[in-house]
């Protein structure tokens, strides 16, 4: 199957048309309970985090293992903004079996724990080791995202503790872990402090890496250059996206509660000047649009996959309220945002990235794969092969035309490069076939004849 995948998409790279991208979503797997995070462990499996306290394995063929990878429901308080919120696999997971979770415990506080995989690679040992507990003064603004940087350290998003407006000014307080991006070294039996953390030896809490965040609901590292992308949920007016080259500088201040995005919020005498904070690379306003009221950002990833070249280098995010997907593009002089309402809508809770850099989005009870609806080939270069209706409503007719002679075969390939249907030894000039067995989404129809000719077209199944 890998040969089909490689040949097909190498072909597309060389015959690709210039166009503005349009996001198309395909249901990849469903029946999850409040999926809120996704990660991979260096292989083709995807690990889906359910807010209630369960982690399930989603295989690359779209099946979900019946036995959870980890079930800590009994020690997790969930609901609202609380629950099992973060998952990160150690860079050396293949040898140590270590992974880390971020959850709200039954006392309402944030816990960072280490777990290990059992002898069964699809099931974790049920008991973990608590590394860090953070007292939460309120029920909201818990952050929760975790990820390893290329430095091998674990980064943790800690919200400002909740209520509204950061009433205790925790985000600007270097002695408080809330409202921060934390960074710890978890390579030992417990955790230690990286020597380059800004308060590693004095002046503030040593776990702190950067300050001034409100509720960073997802951050990510660009796998190509390790740029750090932080999507910080705003208070009343602005949602912001922070991008810092090469993970940034220890001690960066993202401005909250003094500033909301690049705008004054509570700019009191003790605040730094805006020029001494790390300003967002992009922000958007809380406002009414044709799709509703934009009000809460869900951060994503920079696309580094190979299936959709027009997406390359673009940062994907979403608004929870309007259900739109945003695409941030570097134009050379600045960053521009394009909003799109995809073919499927939901209140998006998270994005996911697989080992190949392909992107997913989570909403409702379903994991969706992100595709480029405009992905196409220069069809005029082939034959007068016709396929209709397209999009398909259940049955497709193909007319091969008089120029595509000989015995023919048809292979239908899904967006993962997997052959899902084969029809062989065709002699006639036309054929009808059903698409009822195919899930909704994007497919490629490849036709070969015994004379060595080949043609490929895109097929949408509704």
User: What is the spatial distance between Cα 100 and Cα 131, in angstroms, rounded to a whole number?
Assistant: 10
Report mean pLDDT in 10-residue bins for the chain, 462 residues. 38 36 89 98 97 97 96 98 98 98 98 98 98 98 97 98 97 98 97 98 97 98 95 97 87 97 96 96 96 97 91 96 97 91 96 96 96 61 65 82 76 80 85 87 83 78 82
pLDDT of residue 405: 73
Residue 21's pLDDT is what?
63
Which residues are within 8 A (CB) of 202 and not within 5 positions of it... i.e. 6 or more apart? none
DSSP string, 257-288: TTEETTEESS--TTSPPGGGS---SEEEE-EE
Name every residue whose Cβ is closer than 8 Å to that of residue 10 and which is 6 or more positions away in sequence.
none
Residue-level pLDDT at 385: 66
CATH for 379-461? 2.60.40.10
Q: Which residues, listed in sequence order, are joined to residue 325 by a DSSP beta bridge? A: 318, 340
Residue limits of CATH 2.120.10.30 in the chain = 18-372
Grouping H, G, I as helix, E, B as strand and the rest as coil, residue 62 is coil
| Residue 446 pLDDT | 83
Q: What is the pTM of this model?
A: 0.81
d(CA 49, CA 69): 10
- The whole-number pLDDT of residue 390 equals 80
DSSP letter string over 305-367?
A: -SS-GGGTTPEEEEETTT--EEEEEE-SSSEEEEEE--SS---EEEEEE-TTS-EEEEETTEE
Q: Tell me what pLDDT residue 375 has.
A: 66
The alpha carbon dihedral of 277, 278, 281, 285 has a sign of: negative
Nearest to 316 by CA among 7, 13, 21, 9: 21
Fold entry, domain 18-372: Neuraminidase (2.120.10)
């Amino acid at each position: 199957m890998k040969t089909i995948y490689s040949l097909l998409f190498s072909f597309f790279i060389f015959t690709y048309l210039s166009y503005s991208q349009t996001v198309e979503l395909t249901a990849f797997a469903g029946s999850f309970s409040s999926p809120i995070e996704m990660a991979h462990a260096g292989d083709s499996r995807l690990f889906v985090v359910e807010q209630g306290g369960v982690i399930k394995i989603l295989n690359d063929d779209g099946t979900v293992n019946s036995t959870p990878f980890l079930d800590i429901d009994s020690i997790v308080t969930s609901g609202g903004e609380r629950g099992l919120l973060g998952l990160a696999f150690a860079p050396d997971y293949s040898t140590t079996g270590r992974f880390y979770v971020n959850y709200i415990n039954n006392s309402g506080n944030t816990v960072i724990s280490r777990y290990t995989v059992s002898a069964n690679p699809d099931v974790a040992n049920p008991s973990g080791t608590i590394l860090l507990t953070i007292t939460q003064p309120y029920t909201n603004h818990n952050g929760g995202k975790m990820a390893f940087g290329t430095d091998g350290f674990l980064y943790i998003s800690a919200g400002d503790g909740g209520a509204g407006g950061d009433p205790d000014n925790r985000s600007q307080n270097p002695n408080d872990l809330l409202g921060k991006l934390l960074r710890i070294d978890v390579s030992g039996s417990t955790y230690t402090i990286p020597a380059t953390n800004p308060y590693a030896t004095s002046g503030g809490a040593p776990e702190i890496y950067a300050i001034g965040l409100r509720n960073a609901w997802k951050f990510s590292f660009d796998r190509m250059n390790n740029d750090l992308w932080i999507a910080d949920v705003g208070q009343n007016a602005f949602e912001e996206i922070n991008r810092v080259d090469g993970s940034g500088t220890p001690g960066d201040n993202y401005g909250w509660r003094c500033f909301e995005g690049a705008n004054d919020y509570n700019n009191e005498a003790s605040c730094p000047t805006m020029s001494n904070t790390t300003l967002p690379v992009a922000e958007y306003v809380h406002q009414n649009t044709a799709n509703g009221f934009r009000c809460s950002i869900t951060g994503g990833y920079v696309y580094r996959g190979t299936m959709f070249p027009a997406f390359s280098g673009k940062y994907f995010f979403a608004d929870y309220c309007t259900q739109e997907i945003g695409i941030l593009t570097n134009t050379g002089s600045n960053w521009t945002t394009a909003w799109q309402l995809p073919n499927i809508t939901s209140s998006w809770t998270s994005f996911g990235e697989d080992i190949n850099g392909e992107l997913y989005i989570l909403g409702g009870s379903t994991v969706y794969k992100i595709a480029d609806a405009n992905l196409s080939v220069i069809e005029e270069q082939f034959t007068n092969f016709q396929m209709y209706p397209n999009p398909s409503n259940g049955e497709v007719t193909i007319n091969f035309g008089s120029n595509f002679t000989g015995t023919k075969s048809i292979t239908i390939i899904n967006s993962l490069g997997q052959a899902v249907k084969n029809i062989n030894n065709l002699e006639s000039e036309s054929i009808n076939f059903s698409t009822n067995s195919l899930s909704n989404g994007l497919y490629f129809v490849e036709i070969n004849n015994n004379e060595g000719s080949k043609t490929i077209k895109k097929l949408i199944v509704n």
